């Protein structure tokens, strides 16, 4: 059976509306591993924000579509190596995985050489888990200052993937408070399994894959 992408998408929108009446929430349809045949209906429906986690796959799938449809916004949500940063600035409109100084330096240089500015989320290692990427909590403020003041990167919010420990509320609340304390306008939080929780904590960008496109192989 094929997954009905549009129906899934519409019911997620309904769920969001029940919780967030006024404030704008953006769904990022995470299309990693899915092919254009599966993604196209959502583009046709007018959805604009899509997320990928691998640079090469993203180029292959999105280069032509993006040059023909300037309204589409592409989000890099996966680990980014600094030697691929320039390519990423070329293709993406948002990077959610800004997580180290070396990468930040190369991104800033790439913006200059390409004469292009994009938007960034600082990825925070909210549970201080050794296997996860992200800036440790105690270094977030310093890193934010460096990126925004020294490098002039347009940092619009924090991003986090919470530990799998049944304390999602606590983690989301913490990151949301930290986001507010930095006066950041956006917050990248919530996936298929926890986006309704993320909404309670002021998330403005939800990264939703399988709940829209179905199970990944
Ligand atoms: C794959 C991915 C998602 C989407 O995950 P689903 O559980 O399919 O919604 C969100 N964020 C990141 C960083 C991802 O890699």
Measured between alpha carbons, how far is 83 from 56 in angstroms, rounded to an integer? Answer: 13
pLDDT digits 0-9 by tens, 66-85 = 999 999 999 999 999 999 99
% the chain with pLDDT above 70: 98
pLDDT digits 0-9 by tens, 194-209 = 999 999 999 999 999 9
Tokens of 195: 């986006």
pTM: 0.97
Number of the ligand 1 atom closest to the C-alpha atom of 192:
9
In the chain, how many domains are there? 1
CATH number at residue 150: 3.20.20.10
Mean pLDDT over the full length of the chain:
96
pLDDT for 1 beyond 70: no
Q: Which pLDDT band, with edges at 50, 70 and 90, does 2 fall under? A: low
Q: Is residue 171 within 6 Å of ligand 1 at its C-beta?
A: no
Q: Is residue 49 within 6 Å of ligand 1 at its C-beta?
A: no
User: Where are any strands of DSSP class E within 109-180?
Assistant: 119-125, 135-136, 154-160
Q: What residues make up the domain containing 111? A: 2-213
- Give residue 118's pLDDT: 98
| Cα–ligand 1 centroid distance for 63 (angstroms) | 21
- Give residue 3's pLDDT: 65
| Cα–ligand 1 centroid distance for 195 (angstroms) | 11
Q: Whose CA is nearest to atom 4 of ligand 1?
A: 209
Q: Is residue 75 within 6 Å of ligand 1 at its C-beta?
A: no
Q: Whose CA is nearest to atom 6 of ligand 1?
A: 209
Tokens of 97: 């995985």
Q: Compute the average pLDDT of residues 43-65.
A: 97
Q: Compute the average pLDDT of residues 135-161.
A: 97
Residues 6 or more apart from 24 whose CB is under 8 A from it? 204
Q: Compute the average pLDDT of residues 104-133.
A: 96
Residue among 209, 210, 212 whose CB has most ligand 1 atoms within 8 A, to mutate: 209
pLDDT digits 0-9 by tens, 18-33 = 988 678 899 999 999 9
């Amino acid at each position: 059976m094929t997954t009905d992408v549009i129906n899934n998408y519409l019911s997620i929108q309904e769920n969001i509306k029940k919780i967030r009446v006024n404030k704008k929430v953006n769904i990022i349809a995470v299309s990693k591993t899915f092919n254009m045949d599966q993604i196209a209906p959502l583009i046709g429906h007018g959805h604009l924000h899509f997320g990928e986690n691998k640079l090469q796959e993203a180029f292959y799938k999105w280069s032509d579509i993006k040059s023909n449809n300037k309204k589409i916004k592409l989000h890099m949500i996966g680990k980014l190596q600094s030697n691929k940063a320039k390519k990423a600035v070329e293709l993406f409109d948002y990077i959610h995985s800004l997580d180290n100084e070396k990468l930040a330096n190369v991104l800033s240089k790439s913006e200059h050489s390409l004469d292009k500015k994009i938007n960034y989320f600082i990825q925070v290692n909210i549970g201080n888990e050794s296997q996860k990427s992200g800036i440790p909590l105690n270094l977030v403020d310093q890193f934010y200052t460096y990126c925004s003041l020294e490098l002039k990167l347009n940092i619009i919010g924090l991003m986090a993937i919470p530990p799998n420990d049944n304390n999602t509320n606590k983690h989301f609340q913490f990151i949301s408070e930290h986001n507010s304390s930095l006066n950041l306008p956006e917050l990248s939080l919530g996936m298929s399994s926890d986006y309704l929780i993320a909404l309670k904590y002021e998330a403005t960008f939800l990264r939703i894959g399988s709940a829209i496109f179905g199970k990944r192989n």
